[in-house]
A = this chain, B = another copy of it.
Amino acid sequence: MKFVSQLLQPLLTIPKNAKIKNTEITCKSQKLLLECGLIRPTASGLFALLPLALRAVDKLEALVRHRIEEVGGQRLSLPALTAANLWEKTGRMSEELLKVQDRTGRSFVLAPTHEEAIADLLADVGPLSYKQLPLLVYQISDKFRDELRPKHGVLRARSFRMLDAYGAHASHEHAVTTYHRVTDAYQKLFKDLHLKVYRVAAECGDMGGSESHEWQLPAPAGEDRVPTDGGSVSSVEVGHTFILGTRYSATLGAHCVPPSGPPQPLHMSCYGIGITRLLGASLEALSTDTALRWPAAIAPYRAILIGPKEGSKEWALYDPTRVSELYEELSHTTSLRGDLLCDDRHQMTVGKRLLMADKMGYPEVIVIGKAALETPPRFELRASGRVQLLTWPELMMALAGVETGRATAQI
């Protein structure tokens, strides 16, 4: 859907300190996401992601997939329902887990992470030969956690999109090698997003293992802190990585057959990135109090085209049919490749639509304004705080040239 008039984007204006249905507004990314019609709470800590937000999530997932597959990740899908007895065996059953009983009385956990499930799967298909290792598998799926206090919108929700990747190795040394390879992929991902994410040595805690790092993005509403650029700043944990050792494999019987000798428990590693949390955290980090700002590679649309107001002088030459033609040409013959939205709410002034485009944070805004009546016609291209008046061929050239490093994130 390329026309704003037809988009499901319920705009809101939230008065200061207001509460709205099902949620408390406690940070600016949450407030802006709600006001801009990108998310909508459905219950405490649960959110519907509306079409524009989902485009951003899609682009982010495409980037994550690219980087994790580049280091050999194989995508699979594990059921969200995991047998409760697996969690009992590893001693991780807790109040934070959402539990389900089926009609026969069997108990399941709605998984927040899948170390148990993947070890159980590798036990079931195993033992693996050392020749098949290292193995790196991943999924991107909805995870569940019964947060005592859901907070800050998608930053601390009870259901969230998450990348979880698992390494299986014949030895600790191999696990370390994969760990470095995957954490390098993390660095590349954050570079794709132009986000300064800190790698912080962390406790292994409940997860177990020998080494772990948190990946912290400095942002105002963050509940963690990272030491800095002489002090510390609040930050959001957007990822966590672990060298797990044999805790899960030994407990659940996931083995490999070495070149000689009996089967041994696999040495495992695991890697998480909160997709919806990273999205929220990057908005929290980049946005102003009144306007969303995205990593360019994951803005819901790279550009928006604003046509003239109904009844204006420009309207005579640029009616909806003509605007649609220009839209199609821009959309299909430039590097925008369909990543262009058309604000066709022609009953609204250009100024008002410009304000809304700015609040949404579209990286590039194209306006059919007064100069479009000149000979030759010129069009406004607003990007990076600069306004250029360009003829149509110049505009096409400018958009052909502007690449924001998202070739891999086209959706």
Contacts and interface: CB of A to CB of B under 8 A. Distances in A.
B79 A159 contact: yes
A146 to B, nearest CB: 5
A108 B46 CA distance: 11
A117 interface: yes
Interface residues of A, number: 61
Contacts of A131: 5
Contacts of A120: 42
Contact of A142 (B80, B82, B137): B80
A99 interface: yes
Q: What is the predominant secondary structure among interface residues of chain A facing chain B?
A: mixed
Interface stretch (A48-56, A216-224, A264-272): A48-56
Given A120-B42, A142-B141, A144-B81, A72 B6 contact: yes
A400 B46 CA distance: 48
A333 interface: no
A335 B222 CA distance: 47
Interface string A161-205: 000000000000000000000000000000000000000000000
A77 interface: yes
How many copies, total? 2
A345 B99 CA distance: 43
Given A1-B72, A72-B1, A141-B142, A48 B79 contact: yes
Interface in A34-87: 37, 40, 42-44, 46-51, 54-55, 57-58, 69, 72-83
Contact of A76 (B48, B83, B95, B121): B48
A110 B37 CA distance: 25
16 contacts: A1-B74, A6-B135, A8-B135, A21-B124, A40-B121, A42-B79, A43-B81, A43-B83, A47-B79, A48-B79, A51-B75, A80-B159, A98-B102, A100-B100, A102-B158, A110-B110
Interface of A: 1, 5-8, 10, 21, 37, 40, 42-44, 46-51, 54-55, 57-58, 69, 72-83, 95, 98-103, 106, 108, 110, 117, 120-121, 124-125, 131-132, 135, 137, 141-142, 144, 146, 148, 158-159
